[in-house]
Structure formats: C-alpha cells, structure tokens
Amino acid sequence: MLLEVRRLSVAYGKAVALENVSLDVAPGEFVAVLGPNGAGKSTLLKAISRAQPSSGTLSFRGESLQALPAHAVVGKGICHCPEGRRLFPELTVLKNLMLGAYLRSDRAQVEADLEQVYRLFPVLEERGAQVVSTLSGGQQQMVAIGRALMGRPALLLLDEPSVGIAHRLKLEIFDAIKRIQAAGTAILMAEQDAQSALRVADRVYVLEHGQVGRCGSSAELGADDYIRQAYLGVN
Ligand SMILES: Nc1ncnc2c1ncn2[C@@H]1O[C@H](COP(=O)(O)OP(=O)(O)OP(=O)(O)O)[C@@H](O)[C@H]1O
Ligand SMILES: [Mg+2]
C-alpha cells in the first residue's frame, strides 16, 4: 500500500474534527473523500501532510510519517494542494510553479516537469509572466495543481479542486487530474461534488462528522441508495 491511515484522530481544543479514520491509497490509485461542509476533509489532508498534528498512524510506503515535519513529508513524495489554493498572488505564474520544485536539485528534470505542466494546462504557458492575482479562479486552480506537480509527487493531495469554478473549466480540471493519475501519480482528493467524485475516482470514502461512513468503489457507491439520496439528490 502507498498510504495507510489507521485510527487517525484530530481535535481542535475540545472539538473533535476526525475520529478513528482509516483509509488506504494504493500506488497509482485515485481515491476521493466525499463529505459535506465541516465533515473533516481538509483536516484529514492536513494531518496526512503533517500540517496538522494528529493521533493514530500514518504510513507511507511502509514508513511512519508521524515523526516528520511537514517539509520532510514533501521530500517523501506527498504534495498537498490546499483549499483556497494558497498561491503567491503578486508573483508570476512561472514563479509560483517553480516554488513547487524548491526542494529539488535535478534541474533538467524540473524543466521537463514544467513542460509537462504546460502540456496539461496550456494556458499557463501563455500566461507564464502574468501575476497570479490577475488570473481567473479556474486558472489559479490550475497553477495550484501545477505547483503541486512540480514537487514530483507519488501522492497528490487535492482539496476541493473544483470549488467555485464554472462547469466547463471544472471538466477541464478533472480531466487534467485523470491524466495526472494516468501518468502514475496516486491521488487523494477531498470533494463535495458527489457526481464529479464518483465519475473520476476509483474508490470513494464518505466522511461525515469526522468519521468514515461508507466506502467502496465508485460504481458501488453510485448504486448505493443512501448515497443516491443524500449526495446525488436521486429519490
Ligand atoms: N484551525 C481550526 N480550529 C478550530 N476548529 C477547526 C479548525 N479547522 C477546522 N476546524 C473545525 O473542524 C471541523 C472540520 O473542518 P474541515 O475544514 O476539516 O472540514 P471540511 O470537510 O474540509 O469542510 P469544507 O467542505 O467546508 O471545506 C469543522 O467543524 C471546523 O470548524
Ligand atoms: Mg475543506
């Protein structure tokens, strides 16, 4: 298994945000975490990238992550594309992308990966010299995903990549994420849009009130009565 999460719990003061969450991601797999506002999706991704302290066990390629600081987790091959993008708005597209490669010294490979990001999102090459604050929301999301890819992740953590983005761009972004998976990167994606999550992911975990309720393949959950009623609006 690439990532194994066992009995992961997080509390903010007295408020429990995650309780005994267990989850796996296999190499090259695309896993979605589906759940409503406040379910704990972002907390889960932050705990995995060690931006948030947690209890329980987190292991990546059989090695514990719990003792590592966040920057060391990036070095192990886990890149987090956080909620709200967290870009540097006054820097150019190119500078933002290159910041994703700050831990790397393999210059030729970094250049090749930049070309790969441009193939995935051609608009970013056109806009390389533009400051990020003047991009559209969808384009900024492409920069955020591109920046995470510049870290050459084995596992990409994506926090609601399509939130607030118009339908057509949303399709383009999900299509790019599928191509990232096809190139060999495993993906763990938090998402509220059940229809999109079930369409693109191999497996889905449903997180409600900090706990995993259902989990299964996208096909299984897409046929599940509870999921259809609560998340897909089908009676
Ligand atoms: N830094 C924090 N301090 C206190 N409470 C927090 C903090 N971060 C998150 N929480 C709380 O933890 C719970 C889970 O939040 P989280 O951001 O993980 O949810 P989410 O599933 O990502 O929601 P959304 O879909 O709205 O992004 C919420 O009740 C939230 O208010
Ligand atoms: Mg969130």
141-174 pLDDT, tens digit each: 999 999 999 999 999 999 999 888 888 889 999 9
Which domain, by its residues, includes 105? Answer: 3-230
Q: Which residue has its alpha carbon closest to ligand 1 atom 6? A: 12
- Look at residue 103 in the predicted model and tell me its pLDDT: 85
Nearest bound ligand to CA 16?
Answer: 1
**Measured between alpha carbons, how far is 64 from 5 in angstroms, rounded to an integer?**
10
Domain annotation covers residue 12? yes
Q: Tell me the whole-structure pTM to 2 decimals.
A: 0.95
Q: How many CB atoms lie within 10 A of CB 71?
A: 11
**Measured between alpha carbons, how far is 131 from 114 in angstroms, rounded to an integer?**
17
Domain annotation covers residue 235? no
Distance 160 CA to ligand 2 centre (A): 7
Nearest bound ligand to CA 210?
Answer: 1
pLDDT along the chain (235 residues), means of 10: 98 96 98 96 97 96 94 93 89 96 91 96 96 93 94 95 88 93 96 94 98 96 94 84
Domain annotation covers residue 95? yes
* Total domains, the chain: 1
Domain annotation covers residue 133? yes
CATH number at residue 45: 3.40.50.300
Sign for the pseudo-dihedral over CA of 114, 144, 45, 28: negative
Of 21, 43, 192, 205, the residue with max ligand 1 atoms within 8 A of its CB, to mutate for a pocket test, comes to 43
Domain annotation covers residue 106? yes
- Extract the tokens encoding 215: 């989990």
Distance 33 CA to ligand 2 centre (A): 11
Q: Which residue has its alpha carbon closest to ligand 1 atom 27? A: 37
What is each CA distance from 223 to 111, 189, 217, 229, in whole angstroms? 44, 21, 10, 10
Domain annotation covers residue 16? yes
Q: Which residue has its alpha carbon closest to ligand 1 atom 29? A: 38
